[in-house]
Amino acid sequence: MKSYYEILNVPQNATKAQIKKQFRKLVRMYHPDVNSSVEAEEIFKSINKAAEVLLDDEKRKSYDNLRNIQNNNFKQSSNNSSNYSFSDLFKYTKYQNYKKTKEKKETPKKGKDIYLDVNITVQEAILGVSKIINIAQSSICPKCKGHKFANSQKCSYCNGCGEITKARKITVKIPPSIKNNTKLRLKGEGDFGQNGGENGNLYIIVKIENNEDLTIKDGIVYYSAQISPYRAVLGGNVKVLTLWGEAVIKIPPLTKANQSFKLIEAGVYNEKTRKKGDEIVNIIIQTPQNLTDEEFYLYEKLEEINSKKTNAAT
Ligand SMILES: [Zn+2]
């Protein structure tokens, strides 16, 4: 059996640079692209294996140690015929390594699953929605086959990552009446499998965005409508949000804070009764901000009138 030094045709004390130079020379001679003979293929494999060990400081050190032990053993075994264990062990290790590379190359491997959160609104959770999402699917690099190196150099196709990532847009259909944190499975939309292995799955975790103004409790929809003090006093149109979109309600003059209004059949659709439930609109009166001098003046005026009115009454 040839040693790695013999395979690369370099002396045992060769420097890394010398080994690298010699390795490149041999690669140019035996690469399958330039030399299609069966022998060349075998040689190409063995020079790669030899370079892998000799160009790695740690691997080279343990290889040299192993060789020293073996050589000593051989010297002994010429006097002692029963001592053959190291040579067997070496063969066995080689076989195991061979098996490992073979398995690594040929066993079909399922692609990894992808998990992705998708945020939806309360309305979308009730009504269902189609969302276009961007995913990054990974697959093994077709050039270096995941080894990160090709022709003893960093693979240029995958930039030495061993895998490539493809961006894709996928339409996810979220069914109506979905609950928060529901996991939807899209079969085969995960990372690509290797060696004919199945693709992984894509899991969508549905996150319903918290909307403080629009909430649902026990099938009834609640909406908080923020209105100005003058709208509360004068009454009039107020924009509200329902599951089905925006709507306008008319509130009476002198509407109080926290007063509520019922919107019949503006809520959740009930499969059994085939009717929509109600929505309760709760009135929140907001203090206006960023008032102009004129507005402040008018509020002062209002206060003045009000205090005159109170004094007159007492
Ligand atoms: Zn590559």
CATH code, 191? 2.60.260.20
Looking at the structure, tell me whether residues 60 and 40 fall in a common domain: yes
Give the Å distance between the CA of 99 and the centre of ligand 1: 23
Give the Å distance between the CA of 119 and the centre of ligand 1: 35
Where a domain ends, among 106, 124, 149? 106
Looking at the structure, tell me whether residues 26 and 92 fall in a common domain: yes
Give the Å distance between the CA of 157 and the centre of ligand 1: 5
Looking at the structure, tell me whether residues 8 and 98 fall in a common domain: yes
Give the Å distance between the CA of 307 and the centre of ligand 1: 83
- The better pLDDT of the pair 23, 81 is held by 23
pLDDT tens per residue, range 111-155: 899 999 999 998 888 889 999 999 888 888 888 888 888 888 888
Q: pLDDT class for 288, splitting at 50, 70, 90?
A: very high
Q: Evaluate whether 110 touches 200 at the Cβ level (below 8 Å).
A: yes
Give the Å distance between the CA of 150 and the centre of ligand 1: 7
Residue 137 falls inside a structural domain = yes
Give the Å distance between the CA of 134 and the centre of ligand 1: 24
Give the Å distance between the CA of 194 and the centre of ligand 1: 14
Q: pLDDT class for 211, splitting at 50, 70, 90?
A: confident
> In sequence order, what are the residues at sequence separation of 6 or more whose Cβ sits closer than 8 angstroms to the Cβ of residue 175?
128
Q: What is the mean pLDDT of the chain?
A: 85
Residue 184 falls inside a structural domain = yes
Residue 187 falls inside a structural domain = yes
Residue 314 falls inside a structural domain = no
Residue 245 falls inside a structural domain = yes
Predicted confidence (pLDDT) at residue 5 exceeds the cutoff of 70: yes
Give the Å distance between the CA of 152 and the centre of ligand 1: 12
Give the Å distance between the CA of 141 and the centre of ligand 1: 5
> How far is residue 213's CA from residue 196's CA, in Å, rounded to a whole number?
51
Give the Å distance between the CA of 161 and the centre of ligand 1: 6
Averaged pLDDT for residues 267-290: 89
Give the Å distance between the CA of 95 and the centre of ligand 1: 27
Query: Phi and psi for 245 in degrees, rounded to 5?
Result: 125, -170
Query: Phi and psi for 128 in degrees, rounded to 5?
Result: 85, 155
Three-state SS letters, 16-79: HHHHHHHHHHHHHHHCCCCCCCHHHHHHHHHHHHHHHHHCCHHHHHHHHHHHHHHHHHHHHHCC
Give the Å distance between the CA of 144 and the centre of ligand 1: 4
pLDDT tens per residue, range 220-264: 889 999 999 999 999 999 999 888 888 999 999 999 999 999 998
Give the Å distance between the CA of 151 and the centre of ligand 1: 11
Please count the residues of the chain. Answer: 314
Averaged pLDDT for residues 94-106: 55
pLDDT tens per residue, range 54-77: 998 888 888 888 888 777 765 555
Looking at the structure, tell me whether residues 123 and 60 fall in a common domain: no
Give the Å distance between the CA of 70 and the centre of ligand 1: 37
Give the Å distance between the CA of 165 and the centre of ligand 1: 11
Looking at the structure, tell me whether residues 10 and 101 fall in a common domain: yes
Give the Å distance between the CA of 25 and the centre of ligand 1: 22
* Predicted pLDDT of residue 160: 85
Looking at the structure, tell me whether residues 60 and 129 fall in a common domain: no
Q: Which of 177, 184, 183 is nearest to 272 (CA)?
A: 177
Give the Å distance between the CA of 140 and the centre of ligand 1: 8
140 φ/ψ sector (left φ>0, alpha ψ -120 to 50, else beta):
beta
- Structural domains counted in the chain: 3
CATH of the domain at 58: 1.10.287.110
Where a domain ends, among 71, 106, 141? 106
Give the Å distance between the CA of 110 and the centre of ligand 1: 19
Give the Å distance between the CA of 169 and the centre of ligand 1: 24
Residue 147 falls inside a structural domain = yes
Q: Give the residue numbers spanning the domain of 67.
A: 4-106
Query: Phi and psi for 75 in degrees, rounded to 5?
Result: -60, -40
Looking at the structure, tell me whether residues 261 and 190 fall in a common domain: no
Give the Å distance between the CA of 244 and the centre of ligand 1: 51
Where a domain ends, among 181, 208, 235? 208
Sheet containing strand 183-186, edge to edge, reads 114-120, 202-208, 183-186
Looking at the structure, tell me whether residues 85 and 139 fall in a common domain: no
